[in-house]
């Protein structure tokens, strides 16, 4: 049974043991687990100093995988479907997104600035169909002059999918995108924000791996390693890296395969922004709309991160 913040998440082991069992989350559950490595060397799942049990605020930047339907850090609309729309409170899914699940587990305040379709820096990707990027999200956040406790605030950054797609049209500017992502973290780590704890997650190819995409991940990972060592930031940072590709690879290619997770279908339940043609069994589909996780998939993404942050510490 999932441990809630009301029980104080008393020990790291307590929340680590709270990953849903078969029968919860509509039977969808993790069948792969974080690899728990170390900073430096090749990218891998790592937690270097983030204590999830003390987090009271989560500030989230990213694209549609993290977009809660509101982009200014304010309270999100309820994550419910109101027909004919297929988007739960403006989300690109049929329920909460993964970072909402984590915030709910911790009873933490979520300040979500993510925007669907966002890339790291629009100037690198003229082909991107949405005029949205990390820099814009940062402007909104910084202009608010938020007074957040650095010790109890976790910053989450999720980019790469749209950057990688654009790189196949505009050329490989992923090294510059990685550098820009890291520069924004450095800004958040500096006064007046003085952030201390940063989680970066990635699933750029959603089951596809390329040399340029892997190099993107490595560049971000190397930057996080440097930040933890106190390089290029005012003080050493608590950092974590979560590689969601383990879920995508396990579901789409195996092993262990989608059935091991409890899924019955790896495609999407609906095909767009309305419920027209909705599938008969949405709780067992990997995707809700094309390329976007169902609420059950978001839940196991949250479980993956929670397990990483506790077991890999």
Summarised one tens digit per residue, pLDDT across range 77-113 is 999 999 999 999 999 999 999 999 999 999 999 999 9
Give residue 215's pLDDT: 98
* pLDDT surpassing 70 at residue 63: yes
* pLDDT surpassing 90 at residue 44: yes
Residues ≥6 apart with Cβ < 8 Å to 224: 39, 46, 48, 182, 198, 200, 237, 239, 241
Evaluate the CA torsion angle 27, 287, 246, 244 in order and state its sign.
Answer: negative
**Rounded Cα distance, 297 and 300, in Å:** 5
Cα–Cα distances in angstroms (integers) from residue 96 to residues 66, 89, 293, 296, in the given order: 9, 9, 10, 9
Other beta carbons less than 10 A from residue 186's beta carbon: 18
Q: What is the mean pLDDT of residues 195-212?
A: 98
Q: Who wins on pLDDT, 4 or 56?
A: 56
Give residue 39's pLDDT: 97
- Taking only the tens place, the pLDDT of each residue in 129-180 is 999 999 999 999 999 999 999 999 999 999 999 999 999 999 999 999 999 9
The count of C-alpha atoms lying within 13 angstroms of the C-alpha of 31, restricted to the half-sphere facing its C-beta, is 19
Q: What is the mean pLDDT of residues 273-294?
A: 97
Residues ≥6 apart with Cβ < 8 Å to 212: 164, 167, 172, 174
Phi, psi of 269 (to 5 degrees): -75, -40
* pLDDT surpassing 80 at residue 208: yes
Give residue 283's pLDDT: 97
Element (H, E) at 255: none
Other beta carbons less than 10 A from residue 70's beta carbon: 18
Tell me the CATH architecture of domain 5-311: 3-Layer(aba) Sandwich (3.40)
Give residue 183's pLDDT: 98
134 and 184 in contact (C-beta within 8 Å)? yes
* pLDDT surpassing 80 at residue 11: no
- DSSP letters of 106-168? HT-EEEE---TT-BS-GGG-TT-SS--BHHHHHHHHHHTT----TTTEEEEEE--HHHHHHHH
Q: What is the mean pLDDT of residues 241-247?
A: 98
Query: Whole-prediction pTM value?
Result: 0.93
Give residue 21's pLDDT: 41
Report the b/e string of 113-132 with b at 16+ CB within 10 A: bbbbbbbbbbebbeebeeeb
Give residue 24's pLDDT: 86
The pLDDT confidence band at residue 313, using thresholds 50, 70 and 90, is confident
Give residue 10's pLDDT: 38
> Across all residues in the chain, what is the average pLDDT?
93
Cα–Cα distances in angstroms (integers) from residue 31 to residues 191, 254, 290, in the given order: 41, 10, 22
Query: What are the boundaries of each domain within the chain?
Result: 5-311
């Amino acid at each position: 049974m999932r441990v809630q913040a009301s029980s104080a998440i008393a020990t790291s082991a307590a929340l680590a043991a709270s990953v849903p069992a078969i029968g919860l989350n509509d039977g969808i559950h993790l069948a792969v687990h974080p690899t728990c490595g170390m900073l430096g060397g090749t990218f891998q799942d790592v937690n270097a100093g983030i204590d999830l049990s003390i987090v009271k605020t989560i500030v989230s930047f990213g694209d549609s995988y993290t977009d809660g339907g509101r982009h200014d850090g304010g309270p999100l609309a309820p994550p419910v479907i109101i027909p004919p729309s297929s988007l739960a409170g403006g989300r690109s899914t049929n329920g909460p997104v993964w970072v909402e699940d984590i915030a709910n587990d911790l009873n933490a305040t979520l300040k979500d600035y993510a925007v669907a379709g966002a890339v790291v820096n629009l100037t690198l990707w003229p082909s991107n169909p949405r005029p949205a990027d990390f820099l814009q999200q940062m402007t909104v956040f910084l202009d608010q002059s938020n007074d957040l406790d650095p010790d109890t605030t976790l910053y989450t950054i999720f980019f790469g999918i749209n950057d990688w797609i654009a790189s196949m049209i505009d050329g490989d500017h992923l090294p510059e995108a990685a550098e820009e992502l890291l520069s924004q973290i450095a800004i958040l780590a500096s006064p007046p924000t003085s952030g201390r704890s940063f989680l970066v997650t990635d699933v750029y190819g959603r089951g596809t791996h390329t040399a340029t995409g892997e190099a993107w991940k490595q560049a971000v990972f190397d930057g996080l390693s440097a930040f933890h060592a106190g390089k290029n930031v005012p003080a050493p940072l608590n950092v974590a890296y979560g590689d969601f590709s383990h879920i995508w690879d396990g579901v789409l290619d195996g092993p262990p395969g989608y059935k091991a997770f409890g899924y019955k279908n790896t495609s999407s339940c609906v095909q767009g922004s309305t419920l027209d043609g909705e599938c008969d069994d949405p709780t067992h589909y990997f995707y809700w709309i094309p390329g976007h996780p169902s609420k059950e998939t978001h839940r196991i993404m949250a479980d993956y991160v929670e397990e990483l942050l506790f077991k890999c510490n």
